[in-house]
Amino acid sequence: MKNCNSVQTTDHKIRLNSLQADTIYYFKAKWTDEDGNTGMSQEISFRTDPMPEVITSKVERVGLDFATISFEVKGASKASVYYGRGYTYTGLKEINTSPVDSKYTVILDELSDGTTYNYKISLTDPEGYSYDSIRPTHLLHLLCLELAMLQYKSLRM
């Protein structure tokens, strides 16, 4: 005698990992029932959210031991500003952001006068995935020119 326990599962959830941002994915569901009958759904598609973006970034002000960086981001829940001498990013300033287009300012402190510093902005999307700045013009900015100008002004005074 065949087991008559025919509890059916009608709701399935599958977590998809390693999807690319701003990409359309297509899928079909295929099933086989306990009698061996096979069926297939219509093709369904979905688009992943675009990755967060640094729209602008700028060194606003430079002092003897600090620099103020302003930037505009879109689609991020957190911005992490990494900075350091050369391309060694030993400093970090993090701020929570709004996913809509918003402007922020951070102060990079404990800098050494006359030293070249670089910074990059890493954004975290609302789902927790992090992305480094994509456009090279927004990725790194040398502060040495501003520091050199500041030193030159100090010498002239």
Write the CATH number of the domain with boundaries 53-156: 2.60.40.10
Query: pLDDT over 70 for what percent of the chain?
Result: 79
Question: Which amino acid, one-letter code, is at 36?
Answer: G
More confident residue, 149 or 122: 122
Contact of 121 with 71, CB cutoff 8 Å: yes
Q: How confident is the model over 46-85, as pLDDT tens digits?
A: 999 899 999 999 888 888 888 899 999 999 999 999 988 8
Cα separations (Å) of 134 from 52, 55, 126, 139?
10, 10, 18, 7
Q: Which comes out higher in pLDDT, residue 152 or 15?
A: 15
Cα(38)–Cα(65) distance, integer angstroms: 70
